[in-house]
A and B are shown apart, each in its own frame.
Chain A
Amino acid sequence: MAEEKTIEIGLAPPHPSKKISISLPPGDPPPYPMGQRPVTGRRRPRLDGPIKVTGRAAFTHDARKAGMLHACVLRSPHAHAKVLSIDTAGAEKMAGVVIENPKKEVVRYHGEAILALAAPTRAAAEDALRAVKVTYDVLPHTVSLAAARKEGAPLVFQKAVEEKRSAGDEPGEATKLPQTGNVRGPKNSGKGDVEKGFAEAEGTLEVVTTTAVQTHVPLETHSLFAEWLGDTLEVQASTQGTFSVRDELAEVFKLSKDKVIVKAEFTGGGFGAKFGAGDYGVFAAKLAKKAGKPVLMALDRKEEHLSAGNRPDSWNRVKLGYKKDGTITAADYESFGTAGVATGTGTGGFVKSAYGFPAVKVAESDVFTNLGPGCAMRAPGHPQGCFAVETALEALADRLGMDPLALRLKNDPSEVRRVEWEIGAKEIGWARRAGISKANAVAAAAGSPLRRGLGCAASIWYTFVAPGSQVIVRIHRDGSVEVENGVQDIGGGPRTPIAMVVAEELGLPVEKINVKIGDSRYPFGPASGGSVTTGSLIPAVRAAAVHARDKLLDVASKLLGVPASEIALAEGAFSAKDKSVEFRKVCSRLSGETLVATGDRAKDYDGADTRLFGAQFAEVVVDVETGVVAVKKVVAVHDCGQPVWKTGVESQIRGGILQGISYALFEERVVDERSGRVLNPNVEFYKILGSKDTPEIVPLVVDFYPGKNNAHARGIGEPATVPTAAAVANAIAHATGIRPTALPITPARILDALGKVPKREVGA
């Protein structure tokens, strides 16, 4: 029976909160009351830190087993070609080489897989790869958004393409859309009466923005180690989804789920690109079967860039209808983007959800090109959409002579974000903005090249939950505690918050909790996508820990001779009034060798808005002679329910910001239109942010109790990266007076906008 309960939700004091009535799911503990948590919510070192900093954490790249083979993939050098012949005779003659050749007939992008082979060493595999001879009939290609949209452009696909989805996408059904030439769409959506909104407007403003293709660049490339043990396939995968890899391999090899074991204890980054087994993973498992030996497939850095996913580029048009006081009455939004041979480029989520625009019309279209497939990447579509909308708002503030923050507050009904704007403005020193403008004018008059600027932007993301997450807590007679869930660690570090929650409920030191994750034989855990990990997992952890505690309390009650309700459990002891008994002693009296308690992720109940807000502020210095931008400071104020492990939340925010700065200033996949080849599939010429580009970062989290689950648990990975690029762009606009409308904002683009690039005479 569901129990009715009154809970308090909202921001912690001094802000007003609200009491609501909920139906507590059977067996689920009531949510944390405001302000009463002894362990969770604090900072502490991550539990797996010592094995990671000493090189003992074994990633998939590190899988080594006697007799194993190393696999390589032969990939297309052409953007579009018919495969006429594949001659593997030379490779077959080499010692210990096994080949998996699916006899591909057409390749649609530079880097598309043709076949895979494995050999006793990586070098031998590369030798064998050189010995394979492929002949091609090269076909016309199209590799840019603009060219692919044109009538008569070479077609990437002859047939209609169905959308494929991954755990990194926003939940929802695949959509069926019209397809004309290479353009698939538009997908129309929106809210309110847009016609009426524009009729009520006193003015309109339109901007067009573009963003470049960004690649994920996880430091560990996509990789999978496969071994067949009888009829069971055991793999280690560098993945964001232990169970999504298991399910995919079970489907491909027609195995039941118990015959596929996936281990993913340590994953060297993912950022949205590592959900499935991948064609490389399937190759590894097939080669392992053929050879009867374990096979490691680890993509090299070039393959990673070409074939393993990217954030699509975008072309976005925003038209705002506004009143002279800054109120937005309507927004008309259109986007085109290319995910190469894949779908899912829409950027309209931000304009619909971030602010209180009363009427919004969105049309999103995918444009196919002969390039590697895009996929989910940290807040899909949102950094792009945020850049477009926040650029338009900044332009509107300029036009109306309004303070940019005042304009945002005018259109922001979110109580949580209004608090975030206020905290962030204070921390960055927004009040200095007018003074900085004056100082820039003085600097310009004096011939100094340096200009300072402040910018801000809003974040938006959503609370998704992976249903079915379950946790087991085992307590042994010697007092040791194990917690099991199959979730992977891609850097978010779930071991630590899991241990903190269990430690809090059992009154034990965090280090005493042995957290076991990254194995599909443990109970189901969420894939790390959509910022679902914490919110899906932590309530189940807490439920399991509370159930274990309740069972121990029954034992303690008998030992102490007092009712369980009068016993407190803290600091390794059960106490009631003047009596006390050690945790270990209670465990030694367990009826079985092991106490096993499970906890399920109950369905969400009532609570606050499911959106995750956030406000970021950036301070930059721009050298107007060289066009170089130095980001000096970023202040990020976010809400993510009640942080379980504050250190991890802050690290996630820092990471989101650094990726956002990198996106704003540096990252761009460059493709040669004539050959259709990617020119910078590496980390020398595809520039990502490094140590010298790192500014001061101030991550701040508001004290927020959203309800919905027993731990007020919510994620942070994605919202942290949504607004950074826009905030940096707006700071550059403040510093220089130019309005960046294309990412990345390179020195060349800044100098061009400043009119400092000499124009070449046409025909000269």
Chain B
Amino acid sequence: MAKSPEPPEETRDEPKGVTRRGLIKGIASVVGVASAGATTLLVEARHELQAASGNGAIPVSLTVNGAARTGSFEARTTLAEALRDAWGLTGTKVGCDRGACGACTVLLDGAPVNSCLTLVHDADGRKITTIEGLGSPEAMSPIQKAFVDADALQCGFCTPGMVVSCSALLARNSKPSELDVKEAVSGNLCRCGTYTGVFAACDAAAKTGVTRG
């Protein structure tokens, strides 16, 4: 379980080479967001990345929820795709596929990241914690239980990302204020309107005194 409040210095560096975020930024700034439409750009970005790196699948090995995972993926494959399609970890959701909704939030060496904006090859050799790794229905983590108790969920689709963000918050700040919670989940969109429940859940989980979210 990821306990360190901050990832080690070296892992916080931007991964070398072409990143998906970099590509999207680059293309968006050149073409302009409005002209072609956002998703077209994304498809183009993926295609460019694939074209630049050749077609073959490249092996990758990382740790997911404490277990070693290996696979061979095209350069363009995102961490979200690898988790969901290759390893069956569908608890991580894809709501927008461009880092705007936070449903795909996972912990990368303890820090919350959008797994739809992280290439699986950039996670090579690193430790991933997904919603499945935080707890199970029979053994929920304190923040998961607090979500249930505060009814901090409705349809449940944004919930895994929301829980992971809150878990990361509690790991780095055992007594967060409501403002801290608002900041921590500001990248997690919920359309059902569960935010007040999320604030209450974090507060309740913090009061249990268990540092691990």
Contacts and interface: CB of A to CB of B under 8 A. Distances in A.
Nearest to B179: A692
Contact of A269 (B37, B134, B157, B197): B157
Contacts of B77: 123
Which of B84, B92, B159, B163 counts the most chain A CB atoms within 10 A? Answer: B159
Contacts of A647: 151
Which of B90, B137, B189, B191 counts the most chain A CB atoms within 10 A? Answer: B191
A658 interface: yes
A122 B101 CA distance: 20
Interface residues of A, number: 73
A127 B199 CA distance: 42
B192 interface: yes
Given A52-B159, A54-B136, A690 B97 contact: no
B28 to A, nearest CB: 10
Which of A56, A123, A696 counts the most chain B CB atoms within 10 A? Answer: A123
A651 B97 contact: no
B64 interface: no
A489 B192 CA distance: 12
Interface string A704-738: 00000000000000000000000000000000000
B188 interface: yes
Q: Is the interface of B mostly helix, strand, loop or mixed?
A: loop
A3 interface: no
A126 interface: yes
A479 interface: no
A656 B193 CA distance: 7
A672 B181 CA distance: 37
Given A52-B156, A62-B84, A269 B137 contact: no
A56 B147 contact: no
Given A271-B191, A691-B181, A53 B153 contact: yes
A493 B154 contact: yes
Contacts, number: 213
B194 interface: yes
Contacts of B47: 126-127, 130
A441 to B, nearest CB: 30
Interface in B168-213: 181-183, 185-186, 188-199
A220 B93 CA distance: 8
A2 to B, nearest CB: 39
A424 B121 CA distance: 55
A418 to B, nearest CB: 28
Which of A218, A300, A659 counts the most chain B CB atoms within 10 A? Answer: A300
A60 to B, nearest CB: 10
Contacts of A689: 193
B101 A219 contact: yes
B182 A123 contact: no
Contact of A688 (B191, B197, B199): B191
B192 A655 contact: yes
Nearest to A217: B191
A220 B97 CA distance: 11
B101 A683 contact: yes
Q: Is the interface of A mostly helix, strand, loop or mixed?
A: loop
A271 B189 CA distance: 15
Interface in A211-263: 216-221
A562 interface: no
B39 interface: yes
A55 interface: yes
Contact of B182 (A49, A58, A221, A691): A691
A45 B204 CA distance: 14
Contacts of B98: 301, 682, 684
Which of B137, B160, B163 counts the most chain A CB atoms within 10 A? Answer: B137
B155 A55 contact: no
Contacts of A573: none
Nearest to B138: A50
Contacts of B108: none
Contact of B148 (A50, A218, A491, A659): A50
A49 B153 contact: yes
Given A58-B90, A300-B97, A681-B37, A45 B197 contact: no
Task: Please provide the 10 A-B residue pairs with the shortest distance between their CB atoms, ordered closest to farther.
Answer: A55-B91, A268-B157, A655-B193, A52-B156, A491-B155, A658-B193, A491-B154, A49-B148, A55-B131, A62-B90
5 contacts: A55-B91, A266-B155, A268-B156, A647-B151, A696-B196
Given A54-B132, A683-B96, A689-B193, 5 more contacts: A52-B153, A53-B131, A651-B193, A677-B34, A691-B195
Interface of A: 45-46, 48-59, 61-62, 64, 77, 121-123, 126-127, 129-130, 216-221, 266-269, 271, 300-303, 489-493, 647-648, 650-652, 654-659, 672, 677-679, 681-685, 688-692, 694, 696-697
Interface of B: 33-34, 37-40, 43, 46-47, 50, 74, 76-77, 81, 84-85, 88-98, 100-101, 103, 130-132, 134-138, 140, 144-145, 147-149, 151, 153-160, 163, 181-183, 185-186, 188-199
